[in-house]
Amino acid sequence: MSGKKAPAAGPRQLKQTKLTFGSAFQSSPQQQNKNQRISSKDDQDDLASNNPEKFDVKSFAASKSGEAAESPGNDTSLPVSPALGNVSNTPETPIPTIATQHSNLRVIEKVGDIFDAPRRSILIHACNAVGSWGGGIALAFRERYPDAYRIYNAHCKRSLPQRLVGTALLIAPRDGTRREHYVGCLFTSKRYGRNKDSPHDILRATEPAMKDLIEQILAEMASGEEVGEVRICHINSGLFAVPWMRSKSLIEGLQVGEEDIPEGVTFSRDIIAYAPE
């Protein structure tokens, strides 16, 4: 199954089906009120179907385009998981308990080198939306996989940070080269360094970005491509300064229902988190 496709030369149009990921976060009454302010059409449709926790990521991303587009951080009408409430970047901030179900993603913690992964594994990291892999693990990605960096950078140059934040980019491996891994880029902050988004906004973008990436992964699998393990670093926890448990909690709150998985695709909900020794 491998090696059938040319490597991605830019943003992939991988999505083939409309997926309806849910979130397992238990809504407080305040949160339900917040969810009532969902703005995009599809979101309103989901509300109408009495499922305020479900919304379509692509519609969400599309709703950010155009003149009036705002980032998740600026648009208070977007749905927000209760886990995001009053987020600070201090580890003391309580992390809500999540009622997980069999369809939830599961994060499995391991110590080791994320790059030491079987071929065609997906390595996920958090990115800014201005095209820089200048520090932290992003720099390691850039040094190992310069071609993936060029694809990511070109993707950013074609768009605007406020449109990219909350989305993802899945970069296919390049068969026959040293880069045998997919790179999963989560656009969790518009910018970096002193101009990075607030911890709250970074977390707020992480959820739709992760949903978008899962959609792209499922579409890639549905197209017949061989996809290995899904590995993630402790996203947002270094230069973005958001405690890992916050991001982990969000990821584990995401549900991928059987109806979201294309026919014939075997999808593991396990995501392996790697931290160096």
Q: In whole angstroms, how close is the CB of 131 to ligand HQG at the nearest point? A: 9
Non-local CB neighbours of 68 within 8 Å, separated by 6+ positions: none
Toward ligand HQG, which CB reaches closer, 114 or 164?
A: 114
Question: Do the beta carbons of residue 194 and residue 135 sit within 8 Å?
Answer: no
Q: What CA–CA distance (Å, rounded) separates 172 from 86?
A: 37
**Smallest distance from the beta carbon of 275 to ligand HQG, in angstroms?**
6
Q: Which is nearer to ligand HQG, 2 or 153 (CB)?
A: 153
Shortest Cβ distance from residue 115 to ligand HQG (Å)? 7
With contact defined as beta carbons under 8 Å apart, do 50 and 90 qualify? no
Rank residues 69 and 275 by Cβ distance to ligand HQG and give the closer one.
275
Q: Specify the residue, 63 or 71, whose C-beta has the smaller distance to ligand HQG.
A: 71
Taking the complex as a whole, the smallest distance from the CB of residue 145 to ligand HQG amounts, in Å, to 13
- Do 80 and 4 meet the contact criterion of CB atoms below 8 Å apart? no
Q: Which of 178, 268, 198 is nearest to 230 (CA)?
A: 268
Of 160, 161, 127, nearest in space to 141 by CA: 127
Sequential DSSP letters for 140-203? HHHHH-HHHHHHHHHHHHTS-HHHHTT-EEEEPP-TTSS--SEEEEEEEESS-GGGPPPHHHHH
Nearer to ligand HQG, 41 or 110 (CB): 110
Classify 84 as helix, strand or coil. Answer: helix
In a 10 Å sphere around its CB, with 0-12 CB exposed, 13-18 middle and 19+ buried, how is residue 102 labelled?
A: exposed
Positions touching ligand HQG (CB under 6 A) are 114, 126-128, 132-138, 140, 192-193, 233-240, 275-276
Shortest distance in whole angstroms from residue 38 CB to ligand HQG: 27
Query: Which is closer to ligand HQG, CB of 20 or CB of 189?
Result: 189
Q: What is the closest distance, in whole angstroms, from the C-beta atom of residue 247 to ligand HQG in the complex?
A: 8
